[in-house]
Chains A and B, each alone.
Chain A
Amino acid sequence: MAYDAYSDEWAQAYKDEINKSQVYKQAAAGWEGSVGLVVLAEPDKNVPDDRGIFMDLWHGEARDIKVVSRDEAEQADFVITGPYSRWKQVAKKELDATKGIMLGQLKLKGDFPTLVRYTKASQEMTECTTRVPVNWPDE
C-alpha cells in the first residue's frame, strides 16, 4: 500500500520503518534531540504550500513523527530544509541527504559536529524513507 506523500499515514509508516531498523537502533543509540524536515512548496509540482515533519528521536527510537506546519518543524533542535523535488530525490535514493547538504541543495540548521557523529544513523533514516511506498503529488 502506498501512502500520500507527507500525510499522517505516511508519517506513521515512516516511524514504524525506523523502529523496525536494528541498524538505526544501534547507530542512534546515543542520539537525543528532535529533527525537523521542511519541505518547501513547488506549486508546479502540486505542492502549493510549505510543509513540515517533526521527528522526536530518542536513543535509537522514533518516539513520534508527525506532519506539522513549517513553523513547528523549525522549532526542532536540528532542521533540514529543501524544496519538494529534492526531498523526493532523497526518498527515491537519487540523492544522498548528506551529499545534498554538502552541495547546498539541502540546508541544515543545528549542531554540525553532533550530526557528523551520527552520519550512519542519518543514512539509515534515509534508507527507511526509501522503504515507505509513496504516492507523489506530481506523478
Chain B
Amino acid sequence: MPEVVLADGDDASGLASMMGTLLAQNVERAPHKFEDFRRVESDVLIEVPDLGETITLSFVGDRCTVHNGSRGRPRVRIRADSETLMGLSMVHIGRLGLPNYFDEPGRAVLRAMRTGKLRIGGMHHLQTLNRVTRLFSVA
C-alpha cells in the first residue's frame, strides 16, 4: 500500500501538508493509481510563487516523502500560481490514460502555459509528467 510521509512532520508547510493529503486520499480512493505511484521513482518539484512556497515530492517505490523546499534533482519541475495548481487537478484523464487537453479544464491548463502562469520543466519526461497528472487528478 503506497504511503505518503511529510518529511518535516508538524513543521510541514501548508502546501506540503495539503498536497500530501490530496495525493494520499486520491490514491486510496482509486487503487488503479497504485501502479502510477510506484513507477514515478523520482523527485518532482512544485513551486507556487504567489504563496512563496516550494515543495519536493520524492517518490521511491511505495513511498512518497513530501519535503518543504527544493530537494535532490527533480526530474519534473512545476511552477504555477495557486489557482492554476488547483486547476491542474481538474484535468480529466482520457481512455488511454492520457490527460485530456481538449475539454475546458484541459484548455485552461494550456492557456496557463501560454500565458506563463504554468511552467513545466522536464517536459521531455512525459511519462513521469503524465503519471503525476493522473495521481493528482480528481476529475
Q: Which residues of A contact B (CB under 8 A)?
A: 96, 98-99, 101-105, 108, 111-114, 116-117, 119
Contact = CB atoms under 8 A, between A and B. Distances in A.
B25 to A, nearest CB: 5
Interface in B106-139: 138-139
A102 B53 contact: yes
A105 B83 CA distance: 17
In terms of DSSP, what is the predominant structure of the interface of chain A? helix
A119 B83 CA distance: 9
A119 B18 CA distance: 14
B17 A104 contact: yes
Contact of A98 (B13, B17, B86): B86
B14 A102 contact: yes
A116 B17 contact: no
B6 to A, nearest CB: 12
A112 B86 contact: no
Given A102-B53, A103-B53, A111-B25, A117 B138 contact: yes
Q: A96, A101, A104 — which one has the most chain B CB atoms within 10 A of its CB?
A: A104
Contacts, number: 50
B21 A112 contact: yes
Contacts of A111: 25
Interface string B1-16: 0000000000001110
Contacts of A99: 50-51, 82
Interface residues of B, number: 21
B90 interface: yes
Given A101-B14, A103-B14, A116 B51 contact: no
Given A116-B89, A117-B139, A102 B18 contact: yes
B90 A116 contact: yes
Nearest to A111: B25
B14 A112 contact: no
A23 to B, nearest CB: 16
B48 interface: yes
Given A102-B18, A103-B15, A113 B90 contact: no
Given A96-B82, A99-B82, A112-B25, 6 more contacts: A98-B86, A99-B51, A102-B15, A103-B51, A113-B22, A113-B26
Contacts of B25: 111-113
B138 A113 contact: yes
Contacts of A103: 13-15, 51, 53
